[in-house]
Amino acid sequence: MKIKCQDCGHLEEVSLDFFVKLIGTAVSAGGFWAWTAFIFAGTGFALPIVVAIMSGGVAMLAFKDEIVEWIISKEYPCPTCGGMKWEATSDEGEEKQRKKDSEITELQEKNIKYEKEISDQKSSFFSDNDVGDLISESEEKDKKIQDLENQKKSLLRVQKKKNIEGLNELIFLIKTKEITSGDKALRYLENVKDELEEEEEPAVDSIEKWLRKVAEVIRTDDKGSALVVKAKEVFEGFGLSF
């Protein structure tokens, strides 16, 4: 801390040495603390101010007004012009440094706060590992669904082949038999075969309708005949009862 003569602008460093000079050089080094404490206490200086003066430097700035007042009351004369009006001058460099330090501290605190907020937000959502797990889980499910669909398709292909074979057998059995309306039944069976062989998605309703007509014809045959037994089997293949 410095004081400035208001008359000539002379600057004086307010150090411990300055107080020694002001109070008197007769003071012994060992007794200085008690002595200054006594002097200052007598002039109304609070103990924290005395401690600030003793430690020197920036700590004094907090009490600069009181200290300057006291210096003026001691009638310390300016070494240059003899004036006794003093004012505290803030050391600009010191002030700037303090401002900078507090700005840095503030920024660091903000940074810590933001980092904490970010990490809190992150942990409240899925972690990167969770997302990875979910993606592979979903891919696995997609693959399983694809596998099942392929299985279903191949089962349908097998069933279709079986159904066509069954229809061919029925056609053969009807042709080798004298059966009323046999030609009609053959026509319907050919329709069903064509539908199965030529259509990507055979019309189930039409197939059922034609097979019902076939059933009417075949039912006129003996109940235990090979034709009736085969017809029952073929109908089951289509999910129908004979």
CB nearer Zn ion, residue 4 or residue 160 = 4
Residue type present at position 133: D
Question: H/E element holding 3?
Answer: strand 2-5
Report the DSSP beta bridge partners of residue 88: 3
- 59/52 Cα distance (integer angstroms): 5
Cβ closest to Zn ion, residue 32 vs residue 76 = 76
Amino acid in position 181: S
Nearer of residues 88 and 211 to Zn ion, judged by Cβ: 88
Angle between helices 32-42 and 16-23 (to 10 degrees): 70
Q: Which is nearer to Zn ion, 86 or 210 (CB)?
A: 86
CB atoms inside a 10 Å sphere around CB 241: 8
Q: Tell me the CA distances in angstroms from 150 to 146, 153, 155, 157, one per residue in order.
A: 6, 5, 9, 10
Contact positions toward Zn ion, by CB under 5 A? Answer: 5, 7-8, 10, 78, 80-81, 83
Strand duo 86-89 + 2-5: pairing: antiparallel
